[in-house]
Structure 1
């Protein structure tokens, strides 16, 4: 009996559950991000028959965008079944779907080998990747948040967010390694093919944890909603729209800093993609610590201040970031990309898991956060294309102002959102109560 309780306690331990969510998220992020790197550096000339570099890059970014456009469908399906069947089952299936699509991309024939069928297959597999990645985030963060005590939800909710910088670190590291060890098509194929091993490890780890206790409570009390996604759209559509706006600085700025910047430094003849990859890896490595720091701090001072700091930095850093990169100096490129990730992306992303999940009741929570989170992808997936087009028309100032404009949108949405961190909310409640007591005492004394 004691051994059974001990095993159950370990399977529900917040640290283990958060770690399992983070590992799975890292695997799916790796799969999703290697496509962005490959699209910016290889796919334009491999899968699209064109002699003009910028046209090839635009075409490959279009396939990148298709993955983003499919993410809301993945979010809808994950939200629906996450609120009806459970968070864990959705996480397992999303991991398998993403892994299979990624490995198959690595085995695709090129345009020279198969003609038009090659980009068609690439697009279909990218669509599957988009659905899988859209299904991932909501379940991963809810497993972490719903297994953790409310007063530490910011910290434990930030743990699965580490999967994003870790996945990006692994993705860029895989391309740097394959570029130095391999030749020809194997340089881009190898990072896709090795995903098989990572998916197997992620699946095994996720199988070792129990279902979310809050979902189990919803099921036990017969509060499961028949159509949770439709219900949350009907009752909380304003919160979903705000979440979409909140994510503009984080997800939009992220892909401008990473995917677009890889092609920008080459098109503008400033530097090599290697410097951007090193900057991205540096920022991602620091992010393994910064996310936890921002998440823990949000438990003490609130989600809102941390988020607003990141949004404001995004507003102010657009032009300085491009000015730094425009010097062409390797150090400046690395520092600019790293700063964008550390001070723009990380504080926002660290608090999204706890802040977003605290906006919805448990029986529609998976649907609410998944729809809002992935709805932003409809815009974010198009931004590298728009940025490339803007650069072609007005130069670097276009993408720079776009970066800052995304920060303005998120800043305004952040100012309109309520604080949810228990330490801050409870402190305000106590302060309000004390103020009312003092006011009542003053009136009594006057009488």
Structure 2
């Protein structure tokens, strides 16, 4: 049996995917709450617009913390191993998420409440900053070269599962509770659930083995003594290019999943349940497409698909905003689904592409910092920019201009990056064993 068909590889990829889903569930739970209730509960003295902006600002704090988490956990991953990163990052993110669900609101604690909220969101982002690098490397470094993109798509679908779980719980609460109940205690439930999920994730990850690449580094005493310093000195251009290349994907994802939820419910008067269903269908479509894109990347290469994703997003942003502004569920759904499929043409590939761009001794730090710095450029700023650009009663074309510009910026960065598909991916060696 080939290595990529072995039950051990399947168990490893599934455990990595489950852990990523749990960590991103924690992160997305906050995003949904920011769009629906946090402005009112933690910034009640502001106007509705300013309250929403303040809630999205705390949402952005998590993205700012993610590159710092990449530096911290990247050092652990490159010095001590990929496996310790998976355990420690999950513990930190899970604990911070549960704590958000226990926070007093502004009514109970005054100005201390939003300050505590900001601090916990920072810790949440810090933990997630280490998650992606650890989860991707534990899979990519175990996977055979000619199927690396496919196996790396498992943890890359984790965010989709985490998002659906977070929003599925929010949707169930929205349907079963009235608005007063949801504002009083219902919004806290998804944060409490994070504690149970974290325990399950720890049980899964405790059984994973260290990667062959790191074991080889440790055996040969080839580990970087200061991985971050080495990345800054020798790979700073690569980090900036990967951050710029991936920033458009964050912008599109959080426009669809976070900003449109707030815009549709507050400005267009669309029921939040309808919006959640439309968004969840679109995210599901992107999750189902991820392994198909990864298979194509193993055959055609990483860079061509990344370029195609940027072009597809650039062409769809004006139709997306126009369809959203109609307020008609069927048209909004069409806009969301096509946008998410365009997004995943690129993001279904990066689980293999980024690790291949960096040498093994600094891979955990370099790949994770580039990936999470893109989150600052595309994810932290986008809800704020989009909310400000959508002021007034007209169609928010400024949002489309911003997103199209982000896609073109990313296209330029990808054009400057090399192809990394291993030569073995073109024509795998024949199995010497008899049939």
Give the TM-score range, shorter chain: over 0.9
Residues 324 and 200 (structure 1), Cα distance of their counterparts in 2 relative to 1, 3 Å cut: same
**1:377 pairs with one of 359, 375, 378:** 375
Shift in Å, 1:139 = 0.6
The question of whether the paired residues in 2 share the 8 Å contact of 1:29 and 1:168 is answered with yes
Scaled by the length of structure 2, the TM-score of the pair is: 0.93
Deviations 1:355-378, CA, capped at 9 Å, x for gaps:
111111111111110111111122
Distance in 1 between the 2:275 and 2:62 partners?
22
The question of whether the paired residues in 1 share the 8 Å contact of 2:26 and 2:191 is answered with yes
Distance in 2 between the 1:13 and 1:239 partners?
33
Residue matched to 1:230: 229
How do residues 46-445 of structure 1 correspond to structure 2 at under 5 angstroms? 46-50=41-45, 52-182=47-177, 183-184=181-182, 185-343=184-342, 345-379=343-377, 380-392=379-391, 396-423=396-423
Q: Which moves more between the two structures, 249-258 or 35-44?
A: 249-258
Shift in Å, 1:12 = 8.9
The question of whether the paired residues in 1 share the 8 Å contact of 2:23 and 2:93 is answered with yes
Distance in 1 between the 2:318 and 2:345 partners?
20
Give the secondary structure class of the aligned counterpart of 2:235: helix
The question of whether the paired residues in 2 share the 8 Å contact of 1:218 and 1:224 is answered with yes
The question of whether the paired residues in 2 share the 8 Å contact of 1:74 and 1:134 is answered with yes
Distance in 2 between the 1:356 and 1:244 partners?
10
The question of whether the paired residues in 2 share the 8 Å contact of 1:253 and 1:406 is answered with no
**Mind listing any 5+ residue stretches in structure 1 that lack a counterpart?**
1-8, 428-447
**Mind listing any 5+ residue stretches in structure 2 that lack a counterpart?**
428-435
Shift in Å, 1:270 = 4.9
Distance in 2 between the 1:108 and 1:425 partners?
50
Shift in Å, 1:234 = 0.9
Query: Does residue 24 of the first structure (1) align with residue 19 of the second (2)?
Result: yes
Distance in 2 between the 1:12 and 1:136 partners?
24
Shift in Å, 1:266 = 2.8
Distance in 2 between the 1:158 and 1:45 partners?
38
Scaled by the length of structure 1, the TM-score of the pair is: 0.90
The question of whether the paired residues in 2 share the 8 Å contact of 1:178 and 1:186 is answered with no
Shift in Å, 1:187 = 1.9
Shift in Å, 1:68 = 0.7
- Give the total of aligned pairs: 418
Give the secondary structure class of the aligned counterpart of 1:101: helix
Residue matched to 2:38: 43
Distance in 2 between the 1:289 and 1:377 partners?
23
Give the secondary structure class of the aligned counterpart of 1:209: coil
Shift in Å, 1:49 = 2.3
Shift in Å, 1:268 = 2.6
Shift in Å, 1:283 = 1.9
Deviations 1:20-55, CA, capped at 9 Å, x for gaps:
111000000000001011001100100112252111
Shift in Å, 1:186 = 2.4
Q: Which moves more between the two structures, 102-111 or 281-290?
A: 281-290
Give the secondary structure class of the aligned counterpart of 1:269: coil
The question of whether the paired residues in 2 share the 8 Å contact of 1:19 and 1:159 is answered with yes
The question of whether the paired residues in 2 share the 8 Å contact of 1:270 and 1:326 is answered with no
The question of whether the paired residues in 1 share the 8 Å contact of 2:324 and 2:331 is answered with yes
Distance in 1 between the 2:273 and 2:50 partners?
22
Distance in 1 between the 2:295 and 2:263 partners?
35
